[in-house]
Homo-oligomer: A and B are copies of this chain.
Amino acid sequence: MYPILTVGSVAFDSIKTPFGEVSRVVGGAATYFSVAASFFTGIRLVAVVGDDFSNEQMQVFEGRRIDLAGLQHVSGETFRWKGEYSSDLNIRETIYTHLNVFDQFRPILPESYRPTPFVFLANIHPRLQCEVLDQVAAPRFVAADTMNYWIDGTPEELREVLSRVDALVINDEEARQLSGEANLVKAARAIQQMGPSMLVIKRGEHGVLVTREDGFFALPALPLEGVADPTGAGDTFAGGFMGYLAAAGEVTDTTVTKGIVAGSVLASFAVEDFGLNRLVQLTPELLRERFAEFRRLTYFDAL
């Protein structure tokens, strides 16, 4: 079992969906990732919060295997994001993004973090992703997330990241945009040419697709009646996926496949309530039960 180093946003989110509304709840990619992955292994978090991020908010990390030595507390306001979802939850409009303390953030790894073998670079400026990688000593497996904003806005810096990672975790539209290929098989191959040997393509309500040595693995999403809030589902998925891999200690077709299921299990819970509400209530028993649900959903006998 190896620990995971992650860098990304810790934020205050305000979220409106057809099923309710919350304001100024703890969110951010690195938060969702860390909470999810901590069910499987220890996490070393690199991020920044402002002085409005109080002990009450810090509770989300407490009692979990999340090392906060790399969480900088600085003067100013924490990163804030507000988003609103369409009636079918498939379209998200960003009302505002205030970088606040994240604007001047420079990731500095505590000495104890440097030898971490598994690394997840959540969706932030690719230059910051590279700065983190520069400080890690001989990582064994590095995965990164990114988004259309960086694909369009900082393509060269993103190429540098891609040349240095083992896996890229993005959604299907981003895969098409990054590769310029409408067909996902061609898109995957084109992105693999840019560096990452593994591509994990998130398809929202349609599940996930991953490249393996022995061809693609595809997992549908669990059909859920009670989706309350999709915020953080992708980061939660990444946390479950990386957490499973790091706990297994090796990246093989078998661990990748089960890791994809583990990530989907966590994400299927995350969307059932607002923010981190559902995630923080989970138990290993609930995770095992839902893993079995995914198997019932997808299993069929050989002919």
Q: State in angstroms the CA–CA spacing of A141 and B182 once bound together.
A: 39
Please choose the segment from A97-105, A143-151, A218-226 that sits at the chain B interface, where 4 or more of its residues have CB less than 8 A away: A218-226
CB of A288 within 8 Å of the partner chain:
yes
Contact in complex: A185, B254 (CB < 8 Å): no
Partner of A203, one of B185, B206, B214: B206
Q: State in angstroms the CA–CA spacing of A185 and B226 once bound together.
A: 9
Q: State in angstroms the CA–CA spacing of A299 and B300 once bound together.
A: 8
CB of A297 within 8 Å of the partner chain:
yes
Chain B: CB-nearest residue to A254: B301
Given contacts A182-B88, A185-B225, contact A216 B297 (CB under 8 A): yes
Interface size for A (C-beta < 8 A) is 41
Contact in complex: A220, B220 (CB < 8 Å): yes
**6 A-B residue pairings within 8 Å (CB atoms):** A207-B218, A207-B220, A215-B297, A219-B220, A220-B220, A254-B301
Across the A-B interface, the 4 shortest Cβ-Cβ residue pairs: A218-B220, A88-B182, A206-B206, A185-B225
Known: A207-B218, A209-B223, A219-B298. 11 other contacts (CB 8 A): A183-B227, A206-B220, A209-B220, A215-B293, A216-B297, A217-B300, A218-B221, A219-B300, A258-B301, A261-B300, A298-B300
